[in-house]
Structure 1
Amino acid sequence: RAVLTRGDHAPLDALPARSRARHAPLAFRTSRLPATPDFLPGGLLSRTTVGLFNEVWYRKAPRESRGRLQRISTFFHPLDGVPHWNRVYGRGGFVQYQFVVGHGREEALRRIVRRISARRCPSFLAVLKRFGEADPGWLSFPVPGWTLALDIPAGLPGLGAFLDELDEEVADAGGRVYLAKDSRLRPELLDAMYPRLADFRALRAELDPRGVFVSDLARRLAL
């Protein structure tokens, strides 16, 4: 079970006449809730506490609601209203894992979800989104299909090897991992996930032959 949210972009004249959003409709403003304390114990996360949180999140959602206006930040980034929400994972932190598989590859998505469930990975608010048309960028992440995003405690035993296995399943399904959130993908899988990688590398070599502009991600993946 899950909470399903769908939305369309609202025209400017749909906003209330006195709404501040009329002056800056694309401004990123979040509601400011109390910040997460920085002294939470590292063992706070468990299947029990995560299950309890998800139960509360599910029950607080209305059974049906239509025609409501929401800020961009509320719709796309619900957790950003809680300052330092990442602290709930303790000092060990967490690994963000997000991938996408195309339409027609739903069975691969189901297999991956079943594996994550069987592995008993505690994760707050697993988010499944449907993507529309792809961007023409050579390393653009979205493709028409389904993307799943998870935040998993970094200290989970065997997590690295487990995510390596998921990477292979994603690549076999013609999908890709989101590089903007990646910190551990193996470089040998990158070509299968990003078919235009060679074009990007050729342009980079032409514009920056000495590799002046480089990141840790680029070093690890030989971008």
Structure 2
Amino acid sequence: MPLGMWDFEHCDPKKCSGKKLVRFGIVKELKVSTRFRGIVLSPEGKKAVSPADREIVQEYGIAVIDCSWSKLDNVPFSKLRTGNDRLLPYLVATNPVNYGRPWKLNCVEAYAACFYITGFKEYAQEILSKFKWGHSFLTLNGELLSKYVQCEDSTEVVKVQNDWLKDLQAEYTQAREKDNEDVDLLARNPNHEFWDQEEEEDDDDDDEKDEDDEEDDDDDDDDDDENTNNN
């Protein structure tokens, strides 16, 4: 299956997974004017990649647009000759640059995700094997990918994605509520109340001592006044 890549030189060549795949001879660099008839993973896509795209992938392959997420405005999407633009659904990156960040997949993760969702799991595993960390992508996203691959079309993939995100939000909200309910564990310990009572008693004793000292000082002042008058 042909794999293509439009490279806009936004990435560090030493860290770019796409360039590494080009060096391996797995991916072919494309010129802006080059037409690609396969699935193109692009932010300009209107549909999510799905198992319905399997035949297109099998016959024409996959292409990615290698650019920085922060420089999308500089990419001439309108000049790219594509016919099957697709969006990738929610997945979490495991590459060293964006580990743990949702949506921020690099080139090899994008190829692997598209392969997996369209039913070419073995191709996904093979391309990821070129990277030391590659296996972690399928491990972390395995459950969700297995749901996507069972869908029939883009609409179902998007529904699975949205249901997954709702569950994540519910878990997050529940965790926040639990954190807000947490109290000082010592407050549930009867000994804590005893310590508080001891502290209060100590404070009372200190107050009484201060009052006694003040009375002694007043007596001393009276004696001094008497001595002064006697003189």
TM-score between the two structures when normalised by the length of structure 1: 0.25
